[in-house]
A and B are shown apart, each in its own frame.
Chain A
């Protein structure tokens, strides 16, 4: 029997890929295997492509474009090469929201069979924030003993069944940090719940793909809790564009107008179309009534920071939705025991 050469192997792999595509199979193709030739690499060596994070890895307006671009490169390169190394070592400022976004992206890729490795920032403060964030509850990595007792956490779901009681417990703990007593805050709970529901109802076309991450970060000294919510779904604007708004898009100036209007409950009044989705206006209402502050939303190509009055389009669109907000002692108190 004739021996199969490396050239034959590559040919068969290309054929099998073609066949899979033809049959509509979604199995990912291992490009490394295809391009591995005798002598090029040791047989089992995996080549990781390094993607470097921006020095200021936080989703504030000044750095947002770089962070979104970084996230976008992870997705693109990850899907292409299937083995990536995320280099965070030069990061000198890091935010919990960006960490949640990174986690959300890496988990999405991991589910698709992408191998991911990475390192931590050399900068001590950034490294501590990363270790305390809850990131390493989902990613294998060493956490220093002094960072293990953090109240910070990242919640995630793998399906449509929202873990309401877990969320409720975390909100009570957040109120302890802000007001010094554990208690219910129905308004903050509703805000978080609406984000999750929006994610479940609109962001994903396939129910089994529903994934969101919700990061809660406590600052005991400042008596402040930072909340970040991220999903990698369709995004709010794309949901509207493909949904009931598609016939009346000319009533909006641009995407940022759509997003701002959706929060400020103007969709119905602007279009005359009755709109059942009250989730986004409910979020904005709690912000407007000062139960929370610093509300920031990134969805598809739009960045809105309501406190700072920033409404802009990003250079690189983010596929999905990101929310950030804070509760501290300057907010209206709602804490019931």
Chain B
């Protein structure tokens, strides 16, 4: 399984939504890490494991932007069904990610 540990691999203090909002944004996370690793996981016919624990906290806009873009790029069901999310510290982040992935259906 391919893995991203956001705190270790990207940022302990994730930023907001877009590049224009400052460093380590959700858009940046999607561009430099999530998109590539997810493609890799799909090619390897495996899931992408994402560890959400260990950060200082996620702004709602970070998760929303990164995973909304994932759904836009790969499709909502493909995005959701190929993620394996770990969030023991704040379990509700998983629900937020699901909402972000399926938000365009609203």
Q: Which residues of A contact B (CB under 8 A)?
A: 160-162, 164-165, 167-168, 171, 184-190, 193-194, 197, 200-201, 274, 276, 278-279, 281-282, 285, 334, 336
Looking at chain A's contact residues, the main secondary structure is helix
CB distance from B105 to the nearest CB of A (A): 11
- Given contact pairs A278-B61, A334-B90, A164 touches B21 in the complex (Cβ within 8 A): no
In the complex formed, the residue of A with least CB distance to B16 is: A197
Looking at chain B's contact residues, the main secondary structure is loop
* 7 examples of A-B residue contacts, CB within 8 angstroms: A184-B55, A184-B57, A187-B90, A189-B57, A197-B21, A285-B92, A334-B89
Q: How far is the CA of A197 from the CA of B14 in the complex (A)?
A: 13
CB distance from B89 to the nearest CB of A (A): 5
Contact between A274 and B106, CB atoms less than 8 A apart: yes
CB distance from A274 to the nearest CB of B (A): 6
- Given contact pairs A187-B90, A274-B106, A336-B89, A197 touches B57 in the complex (Cβ within 8 A): no
Q: What is the number of residues of chain B that contact chain A, defined by CB distance less than 8 Å?
A: 21
Contact between A276 and B64, CB atoms less than 8 A apart: yes
Contact between A164 and B15, CB atoms less than 8 A apart: yes
For the complex with contacts A168-B56, A186-B90, A197-B61, 6 further pairs of A-B residues with Cβ separation under 8 Å are A162-B22, A164-B15, A184-B55, A194-B59, A279-B60, A281-B60
Q: Which of B25-75 contact A (CB under 8 A)?
A: 53-61, 64
Contact between B57 and A190, CB atoms less than 8 A apart: yes
Q: Which residues of B contact A (CB under 8 A)?
A: 12-13, 15-16, 21-22, 53-61, 64, 89-90, 92, 103, 106
Write out the residue numbers on chain B whose beta carbons fall within 8 Å of the beta carbon of A188: 57
Contact between A164 and B13, CB atoms less than 8 A apart: yes
Contact between B60 and A278, CB atoms less than 8 A apart: yes
Write out the residue numbers on chain B whose beta carbons fall within 8 Å of the beta carbon of A282: 59-60
Closest A-B pairs by Cβ, 4 of them: A186-B57, A189-B57, A278-B60, A190-B57
In the complex formed, the residue of B with least CB distance to A160 is: B22
Q: How far is the CA of A278 from the CA of B97 in the complex (A)?
A: 13
Write out the residue numbers on chain A whose beta carbons fall within 8 Å of the beta carbon of B59: 190, 193-194, 197, 279, 282
Write out the residue numbers on chain A whose beta carbons fall within 8 Å of the beta carbon of B57: 184-190, 193
Write out the residue numbers on chain A whose beta carbons fall within 8 Å of the beta carbon of B15: 162, 164
Name which of B21, B57, B89 has the most chain A CB atoms within 10 A of its CB: B57
In the complex formed, the residue of B with least CB distance to A166 is: B13
Q: How far is the CA of A274 from the CA of B21 in the complex (A)?
A: 22
Write out the residue numbers on chain A whose beta carbons fall within 8 Å of the beta carbon of B54: 336
In the complex formed, the residue of B with least CB distance to A168 is: B56
In the complex formed, the residue of A with least CB distance to B68 is: A276
Name which of B12, B60, B92 has the most chain A CB atoms within 10 A of its CB: B60
Write out the residue numbers on chain B whose beta carbons fall within 8 Å of the beta carbon of A162: 15-16, 22
Name which of B12, B22, B53 has the most chain A CB atoms within 10 A of its CB: B22
Contact between B22 and A161, CB atoms less than 8 A apart: yes
In the complex formed, the residue of B with least CB distance to A200 is: B21
Contact between B60 and A186, CB atoms less than 8 A apart: no
CB distance from A226 to the nearest CB of B (A): 19
Q: How far is the CA of A286 from the CA of B53 in the complex (A)?
A: 17
Name which of B13, B56, B92, B103 has the most chain A CB atoms within 10 A of its CB: B56
Write out the residue numbers on chain B whose beta carbons fall within 8 Å of the beta carbon of A193: 16, 57, 59
In the complex formed, the residue of B with least CB distance to A191 is: B57
Contact between A186 and B56, CB atoms less than 8 A apart: yes
Contact between A186 and B22, CB atoms less than 8 A apart: no
- Given contact pairs A184-B57, A190-B59, A197-B16, A278 touches B22 in the complex (Cβ within 8 A): no
